[in-house]
Structure 1
Amino acid sequence: MRAFTDERDWAKFHDPKSLILALVGEVGELAELFQWLPADEAAQKVSSDPLRRRVGEEMADVLAYLVRLADILDIDLAEVARQKLENSAERFPPADFRGEAPEKI
């Protein structure tokens, strides 16, 4: 992402606020694809084109902006995701939460 941005001289547009707004916009485009799909049919409907291709494209856009934002803010996404999963595993032990959605804690 950094090389792609640098080759086009777009870094001047990639401040954190602008990247977050772009990310939110792309999440909105992804959500729009699912907006009127029945929840119990969504996975099946996305299993074939053209919807599968469109969902993949929007997910790629979300990922690209998130990766770029992490780069700008010098955040190691893999490391913080690993830490977050470890913390969640401690907060929500399987014996206490199996099959149960936790209430907001």
Structure 2
Amino acid sequence: MEKHLNIDELNKLIKTFCEDRDWDQYHNAKDLSIGIVTEASELLQLFRFKSNLEVDNMLTDETIRTEIGEELADILFFILRFAQKYNFDLSYELNRKVEINEKRYPISEYKGSNKKNTNDK
């Protein structure tokens, strides 16, 4: 299934998949949020206690890349389902957040830096 879908198509895919299984009853905001964190933790577990070299090697191993891809897909599934159920336009939300972060992290001050801006929020 080598198919590239845009975000609207992904939302429809997830909606149909879940509704066909009558999962709306289980997909409330709290449980979907728990799913996002749980799946993100499973991704993190793959990298826990690994050196940068070990991580680089993992990313070239097809078996491990498959595991990583599956965890990323699980995270995306829960994010898309949350957005789809509660009418969040992820394209809009991401663009809005990038605009906020462009102001919070001006290039002149933050280029090449990973320090957190603690002046606001």
Output the TM-score relative to the length of structure 1.
0.91
Contiguous gaps of at least 5 residues in structure 2:
1-13
Cα offset, 1:3, TM superposition: 0.5
Q: Which residue of 2 aligns with 1:25?
A: 38
Q: How many matched pairs?
A: 105
Q: Is 2:91 the partner of 1:68? A: no
Q: Which residue of 1 aligns with 2:68?
A: 55
SS state at 1:69 partner: helix
Separation in structure 2 between the aligned mates of residue 41 and residue 56 of structure 1, nearest angstrom: 17
Q: Which residue of 1 aligns with 2:59?
A: 46
Q: Which residue of 1 aligns with 2:111?
A: 98
Cα offset, 1:104, TM superposition: 4.0
Question: For residues 16-73 of structure 1, what are the alpha-carbon distances to aligned partners after superposition, in whole Å with 9 as ceiling and x for unaligned?
Answer: 1111111111111111111122135413421221110000000000000010011122
SS state at 1:31 partner: helix
Separation in structure 1 between the aligned mates of residue 115 and residue 46 of structure 2, nearest angstrom: 27
Percentage identity across paired residues of the two chains? 29
> RMSD of the TM alignment (CA)?
1.4
Contiguous gaps of at least 5 residues in structure 1:
none
Cα offset, 1:101, TM superposition: 2.2
Separation in structure 1 between the aligned mates of residue 56 and residue 89 of structure 2, nearest angstrom: 30
Output the TM-score relative to the length of structure 2.
0.80
Moved over 3 A (4+): none
